[in-house]
Structure 1
Amino acid sequence: MSQNGPLNPMEQNELLQKITLLLTHSLPPGWGECQVEHRSAGSHHETVGVLRRVTGPGLPTPYDDFPDELGRLFEQLREGMYAPGLGTWFTALFKLTFPFTYEVRYDREGPPRWQTPPPAAALEDELRRFPRDPEHVPEWLAGRPAREMPIAKPFDGTAPDGRPQAQRPEVPAGELDAMVDYLTKCPIVLAARGYDTDLVDPAGAKNVPLTYHTDGTWIWPGAVGYYLRTHNVPPEPDLVEHIRRTGFRVPDVPEDARSAAVSTITGS
């Protein structure tokens, strides 16, 4: 477990200011923007970056000539942001724009995009230093293979007359708006131009979105939310129960989960 106490928001901000000043004084002349990615798990960590210069073509170029103190500051920040039972972040993405403007994002769930993958001992060390409740231990950290995300279907099949069928429990009226919001507001990971034919009302306008959404656990085409909102066609029962368990809260889906969803959809 973290040996030092947790950092309050003001103390976190002070560390971010130290990171800003350290970068400002160590980056080469002519820099305009620097993006730093600090990745960590247990005793294993790495700090890589991309630099964009004011002069020249302006294209970002890899950069890793950072002082050792930068990694220590990120590790101090990481330790101070530990939350009992929830753990701490694995990746911090820090973007600095000349001269002192910064923004930072953290990922507490997804595996870092390692240049050098950590040994198994580092993952074990992570859980010793920053214990997590079982439900908050990502599969990659526990050493379990990632589960394949199921893809929900808008309908169960087709009737003899060619119309789509869905023999499913109705979504209660009190949950309908929240369910539609979840289905339509979770991140789109794949999309095509235009719209598809409404299979329930084929004579009507083409309004069915040609998209795929994910919440990191399930994948569903945009048609699922459309048919629920427009024709009250319920989603698959397992997906409905999953959404209920989330409390209808749209999650922040990490980039690796979005990429995994695209791979599942495309079969790549």
Structure 2
Amino acid sequence: MSEQPPGPAAQQRMLERITLLLAHALPAGWEESTVVHRAVGGHTETLMQVRMVSQRFPTLVEPHPELAGLFQELRSAMYRPGVGTWFSAIFRLTFPFSFDANYDNREEPDWRDARPPAAAYEEELRLFPREPGNVPGWLAAATGAAEADDGLRMAKPFDSMAPDGAPVVQRAPVPDGDRDAVVRYLQQAPIVLAARSFDTDLLDPQRASSVPLTYHTDGTWIWPGAVGYYLKKHGLPPEPDLVAHIRAAGFQLPEVSEDARKEAVNVITSPSG
């Protein structure tokens, strides 16, 4: 008989262990403490801040050495077969013993320090297996876990268009340190279709038409030239899964076969493309 993961009652007891650890370790005069724990595989990051009664703003402090282990236990306990577990948790303790916790099991952690090594992504799926539909795009890109029958993915420059024709984008920004590398990747990927003219810049209509009417592919994704243009000129981020895919490739374009280029053209020119 397989062992079942701890239920809500056991998880609550683990949260209470974290609470007791903090309550005994925090200095006199504390009012609120927040712990952020991020993890992918065995790569973890634990940050802690404390706000004292006499302070308006919290101060970042060194976390208790046992905190990371407790959060990893909690993370394992909250694993759901085929679904996975969370990547980031925010635990907030208010004097004396009132706490709440929030978890994120989809978005890539916003690492403050070093990013995980490549092996950590593989370890994540080995420790906490997920069905293909439950693997986030950034994790799939880092592990090759995307469904094989998904085919080429088409990226769009915008999420939608407002009634007045203005583009709408609700995406996390590309970090400044990655932006130039992502732009190079997007603009240097093979062009499989191109027009001789240029389109209007929807974020700066007064500018002379300068948006390239092209389509690029790297053999996995297809994107219009507008994606790289808007990132370079306006900082407008591409789709998060595409950025994760580029980052996982080390910002290095692969060789794109002639068959892959032809398939990209078929996708672009198909009625549903």
Query: Could you tell which deviates more after superposition, 21-30 or 135-144?
Result: 135-144
Amino acid at match of 2:89: A
Task: Find the residue that maps to 1:58 and give its secondary structure.
Answer: coil
What is the 5 A alignment of 1:1-268? 5-55=4-54, 57-66=55-64, 68-114=65-111, 115-143=113-141, 150-154=158-162, 214=170, 267=236
Question: Structure 1 63/266 Cα, relative in aligned 2: closer, same or farther at 3 Å?
Answer: same
Deviations 1:174-218 (A, max 9, x none): xxxxxxxxxxxxxxxxxxxxxxxxxxxxxxxxxxxx9968599xx
Deviation of residue 60 (structure 1)? 1.1
Partner Cα distance (1:99, 1:131) in 2: 38
Task: Find the residue that maps to 2:72 and give its secondary structure.
Answer: helix
Amino acid at match of 1:36: V
Question: Structure 1 58/267 Cα, relative in aligned 2: closer, same or farther at 3 Å?
Answer: same
Amino acid at match of 1:72: G
Amino acid at match of 1:79: S
Partner Cα distance (1:215, 1:50) in 2: 27
Count of matched residue positions in the alignment of Structure 1 and Structure 2: 167
Question: Structure 1 152/19 Cα, relative in aligned 2: closer, same or farther at 3 Å?
Answer: same
Amino acid at match of 1:43: G
Deviation of residue 5 (structure 1)? 3.6
Deviation of residue 4 (structure 1)? 6.2
CA RMSD of aligned residues (A): 3.3
TM-score when normalising by structure 1: 0.55
Amino acid at match of 2:124: E
Long gaps (5+) in structure 2: 145-152, 173-231, 238-273
Amino acid at match of 1:71: A
Identity of aligned residues (%): 43
TM-score when normalising by structure 2: 0.54
Deviation of residue 151 (structure 1)? 2.5
Long gaps (5+) in structure 1: 158-209, 217-262
Partner Cα distance (1:135, 1:49) in 2: 33
Partner Cα distance (1:137, 1:88) in 2: 11
Partner Cα distance (1:129, 1:17) in 2: 25
Partner Cα distance (2:32, 2:167) in 1: 34
